[in-house]
Amino acid sequence: MPTPTKGARLGGSPSHERLMLANLATSLFEHGRITTTEAKAKRLRPLAERLITKSKKGDLHNRREVMKTVRDKDVVHKLFAEIGPFFADRNGGYTRVVKTMPRKGDNAQMAVIELVNEKTATAEAEAARGTKFAKDESAQQSTAGSVGDESVSDETAAGEAAPTTPEVGSESEDENKDQS
Amino acid sequence: MAVPKFKKSRSNTRKRRSQWKATAPTLVKCSNRACREQKPPHIACPSCGQHAGRQVVEPA
């Protein structure tokens, strides 16, 4: 039995749902942030992130795959020229959904879905130092997994005395700073 | 067709309606120290527009 799609069903038919999600994705990439119902935002998030992943690959095949969903060529160009390269150093989590006050007319749960426009803390640190973390370098250098390479890169990291906070932890620290 | 046999007394009507109550919404203080307004939890603050230390919506 196929696994059902996570989240609410939208519209009156599968084709209506596809159209609504495609239009939402187009608007999101066009404007960077859109206000919609929470159910729609939650359905849009995985779709939009898949499209961004395709745009990061950036070849003609992926562009055609994206064109299946986002039919506006200007938006697809923006996605491949600006949005995809911006997220080059972020592995997933390209969008953010924040709940807002319910809508006046029907009290529907509303949310703002936006493209994350900050760089990750690790990416900023790497840009400042001009180097990468030992674990990232070793992962890039040797997918073959030679033990000698890893030990060398570990030594270099120790020499630099680089802060090796994991991505998630450092992001939450940022949030704490902003609150003050 | 089913038809009511007895008149519903005012007492019964009022007893029924006495159970029909509104509940107070759950509210928390905004985590923005400059704001501290009451707001529903897990929602961007409607008065200052911040959520988790980030400006999310335009303040009302």
pLDDT tens track of chain A, all 180 residues? 899 989 999 999 999 999 999 999 999 999 999 999 999 999 999 999 999 999 999 999 999 999 999 999 999 999 999 999 999 999 999 999 999 999 999 999 999 999 998 888 888 888 888 777 666 677 666 555 444 444 444 444 444 444 444 444 444 444 444 444
Structural domain count of chain B: 1
Chain B interface mutation, best of A98, A104, A174, A175, highest count of B Cβ atoms under 10 Å = A98
pLDDT of residue A75: 95
Helices A121-129 and A167-179, axial angle in degrees (round to 10): 100
A100 plus A131 within the same structural domain: no
A32 plus A98 within the same structural domain: yes
In a domain, A7, yes or no: no
Q: Which domain holds residue A23?
A: 14-118
Strands in A83-180 per DSSP E: 95-100, 110-115
Q: Which of A129, A139, A134 is nearest to A153 (CA)?
A: A134
> How close does chain B come to A139, measured CA to CA in Å?
33
pLDDT of residue A130: 79
A156 plus A101 within the same structural domain: no
In a domain, B8, yes or no: no
Separation between Cα atoms, residue A99 and residue B45, nearest integer Å: 10
> How close does chain A come to B29, measured CA to CA in Å?
14
3-state SS, residue B31: coil
In a domain, A151, yes or no: yes
Mean pLDDT over each residue of chain B, to the nearest integer: 92
Model's pTM, two decimal places? 0.72
Using a CB-CB distance cutoff of 8 angstroms, which residues of chain A are in contact with residue B33?
A: 179-180
From the centroid of its chain, how far is CA A148?
Answer: 34
Separation between Cα atoms, residue A180 and residue A178, nearest integer Å: 6
A36 has which bridge partners? Answer: A111
Contact A175 B52 (CB under 8 A): yes
pLDDT of residue A135: 67
In a domain, A4, yes or no: no
